[in-house]
Homo-oligomer: A and B are copies of this chain.
Amino acid sequence: MSRSAGAIDPSDVSATSRLRADLASRILNLLKDQKAEPGHRLVECELCRHFGVSRTPIRGALQLLANAGTVEARANRGYVLLHPVREAPEPPALTEQGEEDRELLVRIARARNSGLLPDECSQQEMVRHLDVTMATLLRVLRQLADLGLVERKPGKGWIFLPAIDSTRAQEESYAFRRVVEPAGLLAPTFELDWQWLERSRAQHQSFRKRRWRDTLAVEFFQMNADFHEQLARCSGNRYLLGAVQGQNRLRSFLNYHWVHGVPRVIASIEEHLAIMDALADGRNDRASQLMLDHLASSSRTFSPMAPSPKIPA
């Protein structure tokens, strides 16, 4: 079935590009950050500059949001926000960003856990086993390689590194972060981003008030990741930042299900707030200590005998 050339067919959701879907979701986040009210006008050029892309994908993203009913298009006058942006920046059927990729990621994880996929394996075998195109497989393998979960063998083929989701790996991850993150707060080049601090504080506080629902898990995770990453950024050390970002990516891949349990979530938020308070007072030494404690208690939550966490459902 050939798609008509020229005009974009907005109803064909499955065909939207990664970039557009991604932008759609980031636009929502932006609106939420800005606390945009219904009626808020979305100016294309601004969004362009903000995200560093051209108008074309921005328009695509807005189109997407229009289909989802979040915004409305007015002829010759651009897009306007319809409803207030609620919680859940995770747009259900919208984050098809790498829908294909994500799905493959999960399938690989499954195949590995069930032993269908051996430790060492050539690309083509995977293509046959998993029934995907070479292109998508390569994209995903590169992602996994970036995360350090898989490596190329010298000649040909790939090798899955052992114990991806093991308790051991989690403990190592926390141990690493206990080294890096508190040190970041003590760096002589540390410079607090006050604007961010205020926003994040508010976000944490509002989160604390809400009643917990499982749908909040993703949002919590993102807030959490953002917290740690921003602080690393303030350290003024690019390598330190890189290390934290890497850990975040790894976690976001492995951790959709590390559901901490509600009490731990609450405690986590309190600890974050305490750290921010200390930083606001210029007590970086104290903040550093609190960060260390925070990571220690977080890790303790899992370590006893983490239930065999096997990759997303």
Residues of A within 8 A of B (CB): 19, 22-23, 51-54, 57, 146, 148, 153-155, 169, 172-173, 175-176, 179-180, 182-183, 186-189, 236-240, 242-243, 246-247, 288, 307, 309-312
A183 partner residues in chain B, CB cutoff 8 A: 179, 311-312
Complex Cα distance A11/B238, Å? 46
Report the copy number of this chain in the oligomer.
2
Q: 28 A-B pairs, CB-CB below 8 angstroms?
A: A19-B155, A22-B154, A52-B153, A52-B155, A53-B153, A53-B155, A54-B155, A57-B154, A148-B238, A148-B242, A169-B238, A172-B189, A172-B239, A172-B240, A175-B187, A175-B237, A176-B243, A179-B180, A179-B183, A182-B312, A183-B312, A186-B309, A186-B311, A186-B312, A187-B309, A188-B309, A239-B246, A243-B243
A161 and chain B: residue at smallest CB distance: B238
Q: Is the interface of A mostly helix, strand, loop or mixed?
A: helix
A236 and chain B: residue at smallest CB distance: B172
A239 and chain B: residue at smallest CB distance: B176
A172 partner residues in chain B, CB cutoff 8 A: 189, 236-240
Q: Which 4 residue pairs of A and B lie closest in terms of their CB atoms, listed nearest first?
A: A176-B239, A179-B183, A53-B155, A172-B237
A169 partner residues in chain B, CB cutoff 8 A: 238
A155 and chain B: residue at smallest CB distance: B53
Complex Cα distance A182/B186, Å? 16
A22 partner residues in chain B, CB cutoff 8 A: 154
A243 and chain B: residue at smallest CB distance: B243
- From B53, B237, B307, B309, give the contact of A176 (CB < 8 A): B237
